Structures are given as structure tokens and as C-alpha cells.
Amino acid sequence: MTRLRTSGKRHRQYEPGSTNCARLLIIAVSVILAACGQDNFASTAVSRSNVQAPHWIDDPAAGPILPITAEVDTSSHLVQLGKTLFHDTRLSADNSLSCSTCHDIEAGGDDGRQVSIGINRAEGDLNAPTVLNSALNFAQFWDGRATTLEEQAIGPIHDELEMGTNLPAVLKKLAADNRMVSAFDEAFDDGMTSANLLTAIASYEAALITASPFDHYLLGDVDAISETAKLGFDEFQKLGCISCHQGRNVGGNMYQYFGIMGDYFADRGNIRSSDFGRYNVTKNPVDKFKFKVPSLRNVAVTAPYFHDGSAATLDEAIAVMARYQLGRPINQAQVERIVAFLETLTGEIEDDLL
């Protein structure tokens, strides 16, 4: 299985070096996009949350793709408690699965399945997105129904097909464990509460930020990625992928229809309510088949793809995007270059987050 690289150290700090190249790149991209009339740089916003956003998220120098430059604090009691909870099977009704069952951090933050399998081997309708860098998304879930990571985390705990339980039942189990009680006491003045459980999980997730070779490149290290990857990034911009996959998370900052230039759903067939996307939240017919544009960070290690898990490989996903989102023919050489670029978005994870 393809896995993320680990940093091999507890804390990591990138030296930004010269940012001139990055600035030039961003200006060049802006010019290209302005020329194409694609002036939709939504700002990269972070979910409003109790969890304090790292200071660099609201960088005013908004470009099409912003680098990750953070030093993440991974060692606090709060983040470490969140890590323990994320891996604790007592969060499910029959103690059979934890968040990490469907979001394997080291393997890209997802489960590698077409659709997720919950308690009692119940099959859901949706592909599990990665939790890595989810703090950088403007909303959570394919349909954006949760604004914060805390709000999101209640979802799987209560979902009958996923963990099938509720917060009081989970707290009752955890309260019988002295080590858990002390871990909450160390992290919070008011100890173990439902709100604190959600805050701890959200704080852990907010630390799951993975800087990648492409970030080094944006920060001025021109040798951080291969020539093929650079051509792929060029292709990604010229074809127009960047008009949707952009911002700090290379996605995660807008909703878009799936099937703008072709009817993806008619061609695939077997339409289910989970295909309605954003409509399930707003009930506004114009939102039918609209989804949160997913982040492409770590995308090379999170196959299969799309909300329905229909694309088994990255090559296939790119071809589907070119056809249904851009209506542009794309050849195998272009696909390979884009894959080389997307591979540079595979990041590093701190050892003490695993």
C-alpha cells in the first residue's frame, strides 16, 4: 500500500527561503486566468471553529495555490488526547471501529474503499474523503453540511451506518477509564464533556497538515519537483483545473456541479440521493449534483476517487474531470504530466500524529 512519508522527527519547520519565484508564479497564473476570464479565486477560508486556526491560513497574498508553511504543534495534551480518541473504538456502538478505521492517517487519511463500511458491515453510499488537511476546507463532507470539524465529528458517531451510537453513551464508556479521565483533566479545565471530546478530535485533525514537495517549490526551491511535474502544473493551469482546485488546500473552497460539460450522472446511471450533493442540505433545486470541490493534497495516495468512488485510478479520475468538468480532450501524455504534478502534493506527516 502506498503510504505517506513520515517526517522522522517530532517537529518540522520549513525555511521559506526566497519567495520571489513563488510570487512570479502566482502572478503568471493570475494573468493566464484573467485572460481566460476565470476570475473566481475564492479566498481560502478555514472552517469557523472553537479550534484556533494557525495564523498563516488567512494569508492576504491570495494566489491560486498557497503553500503550507506552518509549524504544527503536535505535542500538546489536547492534540495527543484527540489522537487517542480518533483511534479509540469505544466511539462506536459495538467497539468495533474508530475514526481511523475509515481514515487511516498513514495511508492518506482515507480507507481505500469505493464506499465505507460501518458497524455490522453496513455499506454506505459515499467514498471516505481524507481527513488530512480537512481543517483547510471551508466546509466538511461532500455536501458541506458541517461547518466546523467539531460539528463534523458528531456525524459519524451518530450515523447508524457508521459508528451507530451517541455522545452520552461514548462518554459513559470513557468515564470508566481512569487514564482517559486524567487525559481530559490535563487537556481541559472542566475535564471530560461531550464538547471537549469534539474539541479534542477537531484539534488533532487541525494538526493533520501535510506540507509537500510542491509547497517547497512554491516557496522558492525550484528543484523540489521534477521537470515533468512542472509541466503537469502548467497543464493543470492551462486546462482550467485550477479554476476549481485552488487555494491552500488545492480545493476545498467552493461548491461546483459534477458534470458541467456532460451529464456524468446520466452516463453512470443508478442515481441515488447521495448523488444530489449540496441539494441535500439546501433543498434548492439549483444545488442538485453540486459538491464541495475536494482537496487534491495527498490525492495520489487516496484512490478510489469521487463521492461515489467510481474512479479506481488517478489517470481515470483526471480523464473524467477533463471530459465532464472542462469538455476538453486530453491525451495520455497530458494525463501523465498531471499525475506527476499531483504526486508532488503527497505530504509528510509528523511521527507523533500516527
As annotated, the active-site residues are 162
Residue from 41, 138, 141, 217 in contact with ligand HEC (CB under 6 A) = 141
Distance CA 331, CA 339 (A): 12
- Which residues, in sequence order, are CB contacts of 91 under 8 Å at separation 6+? 85, 98, 99, 157, 163, 165, 170
Number of residues that bind ligand HEC (CB under 6 A): 52
Q: Decide if residue 153 touches ligand HEC (CB under 6 A).
A: yes
Residue 339 CB, shortest distance to ligand HEC, in Å, is: 9
Q: Decide if residue 101 touches ligand HEC (CB under 6 A).
A: yes
Residue from 93, 317, 349, 353 in contact with ligand HEC (CB under 6 A) = 317
Looking at residues 286 to 315 of the shown chain, list those that interact with ligand HEC (rule: CB under 6 A).
291, 293-294, 296, 299, 302, 305-307
CB atoms within 10 A of CB 191: 14
**Rg of the chain taking only CA atoms, in angstroms:** 20
Is the C-alpha dihedral spanning 35, 38, 39, 41 positive or negative? negative
With b for 16 or more beta-carbon neighbours within 10 A and e for fewer, the 218-235 pattern comes to: bbbbeebbeebbbbbbbb
How many residues does this entry show for the chain?
354
Per-residue binder mask for ligand HEC (CB under 6 A), 188-227, x = binder: -------------x---x----------------------
Is the C-alpha dihedral spanning 343, 322, 113, 350 positive or negative? positive
Residue 324 CB, shortest distance to ligand HEC, in Å, is: 9
Distance CA 314, CA 337 (A): 12
Binding site for ligand HEC (CB under 6 A): 91, 97, 99, 101-103, 116, 118, 124, 126, 128-129, 131, 134, 137, 140-142, 149, 152-153, 156-157, 162-163, 201, 205, 239-241, 243-245, 256, 258, 260, 291, 293-294, 296, 299, 302, 305-307, 317-318, 321-322, 325-326, 338
